Amino acid sequence: MSRPAIAAPLQRGRPPRVRKRYVVLAIVVVVLAVPVYSYVSTMLQPSSLPLGVRSIEWLRLHHGAWIVNEVERVYYNAHAPKKGGPTLRTLPKVGAEPLPAARAYAPARIAPVITPALRGEGTWSRSGPLVRGHAPVLVTAYRAQADYPRVVAYVAWLDHTRTRLSLVPGRYEPPSSLPRGPMEVPQSLRTHLLATFNSGFTYHDGHGGFYADGRSYTPLQRGYATLVGYHDGNVDVKTWTSGPAPGRDVLFARQNLPLLVDAGRPSAALQSGRDWGATLGNAVRVWRSGVGVDRKGNLVYAAADYQTAQSLAAILIHAGAVRAMELDINSEWPTFITYAKRGARDPVRLVPNTQQPLTRYLVPDDRDFFAVYSA
């Protein structure tokens, strides 16, 4: 009688196809774990920015700049302003009240680009407390381009004889392990605070130098446009021609791109598109801000939506700047805030940036900025 066949024992373990799937899944988990950890840990750090803006900034810094740039390219092209159309009937109100007839010195009214001029267009108004009997910070608004009659430029003028400018490091900008300070307007100085405004590109985007209060956070670069403050209270915007560290007379120096305006004319550097923003160089119309000096050494700040680098240069020249540089761009960043009362009370936006609170710079901010004090 033949013995029955004995079945072969079942093989333990998973089929090869299943094992491969688990290996692939494990690799995917490992690959994603690093960026997920980086993103989550970054979002959990203290910040003054909303989650959406911080997420975009994180993506820029982690090899995703091309994605952000492409999305911005599509968005800005789709929302580019059309030439012509009806003009504005009124301008946004800026400043507290028109200047009195008698004062030590005031810049001339900004001549209208579009006629007839609207009420108050280009006329300077005071924006805060008087210093030695005169308003040291003046503001105005005007329509800067005949082809775009609904676009408004916002301009501020700072009397260098009655103000002192300070450069304040932010929480993450400039990128350095050196002491950050308060990252906001210090409480002890708010009695003298007149205004605050945004600085330039991040170091990742602009690669400019940063020097403040005896510390070199990033080396100063030859050929870069530089807003310089001196210990004697004077300020200047110029091309940096010295070495990576300034002389003893310099209080601060902040660099950003080449000069935008030089000798009262658009800079030759405007012919290059690569310097003026990663999305579409100097061709795309976005919010842009800039700062310059007039022929008497006073600061002129300007910001407007739907600007190219060339049109921003034209705004600054028309407002009296003989040398000027671009500051930050895109709708999140241009900020100019004045304070109607001493102690940083009653803050008022000159630039209508609702993505940033009126308390910006009165609490720790991620980016460096400028503070204007009475002298």
pLDDT in tens, 111-131: 999 999 999 999 999 998 999
The number of C-alpha atoms within 13 Å of 368 and in the hemisphere containing its C-beta is: 29
Do 313 and 176 belong to one domain?
Answer: yes
Whether residue 323 is contained in a domain is answered as yes
% pLDDT > 70, the chain: 91
User: In this structure, are 103 and 63 located in the same domain?
Assistant: no
pLDDT band at 278 (very low <50, low <70, confident <90, very high): low
Q: Is the whole model's pTM more than 0.85, yes or no? A: yes
Q: State how beta strands 193-198 and 369-374 pair.
A: antiparallel
Q: Is 7 among the domain residues?
A: no
What is the structure's pLDDT at 81? 78
- Is the per-residue pLDDT at 333 higher than 90? yes
The answer to whether position 11 is within a domain reads no
* 14 confidence band (pLDDT: 50, 70, 90): low
284 belongs to a structural domain? yes
Q: Are residues 160 and 282 in the same domain?
A: yes
Give me the pLDDT at residue 121, please: 96
Q: Which residue has the higher pLDDT, 53 or 148?
A: 148
Burial environment of residue 267 by CB neighbours within 10 A (0 to 12, 13 to 18, 19 or more):
buried
Indicate whether 90 belongs to any domain. no
Q: Do 122 and 49 have their domain in common?
A: no
Return the minimum-mean-pLDDT range out of 73-77, 92-96, 135-139, 347-351: 73-77
302 & 346 share domain: yes
Sorting pLDDT into bands at 50, 70 and 90, what band is 54?
confident
Among residues 48, 78, 108, which one ends one of the domains? 78
Cα–Cα distance measured from residue 137 to residue 95, given in angstroms and rounded to the nearest whole number: 9
Residues 239 and 353 in one domain: yes
- Is 63 contained in some domain? yes
Residue 87 lies in a domain: no
6-20, 67-81, 87-101 — most confident range = 87-101
Predicted confidence band at 4 (pLDDT cuts at 50, 70, 90)? low
Is pLDDT at 10 greater than 70 in this prediction? no
Who wins on pLDDT, 344 or 85?
344
Host domain of residue 284: 97-374
| pLDDT bucket at 170, cuts 50 / 70 / 90 | very high
**Domain shared by 107 and 47, yes or no:** no
Q: Which residue has the tokens 């630039």?
A: 351
- 104 pLDDT band (50/70/90 cuts)? low
pLDDT band at 308 (very low <50, low <70, confident <90, very high): very high
Spatial CB neighbours of 368, under 8 Å, sequence gap ≥ 6: 167, 168, 169, 170, 173, 174, 199, 210, 254
DSSP H helices, the chain, are 16-44, 51-59, 65-78, 203-206, 309-318
Structural domain includes residue 140: yes
Whether residues 24 and 119 fall in one domain: no
186 has pLDDT over 80:
yes
Is the domain of 41 the same as that of 184? no
Of residues 233 and 70, more confidence is placed in 233
144 and 278 belong to one structural domain: yes
- Same domain for 27 and 105, yes or no, is no
Total domains present in the chain: 2
Average pLDDT rounded to a whole number, residues 59-81: 74
For residue 275, pLDDT over 70 is answered with no
Same domain (yes/no): 27, 112: no
Whether the Cβ atoms of residue 127 and residue 98 lie closer than 8 Å to each other: no
- Residue 281's pLDDT is 54
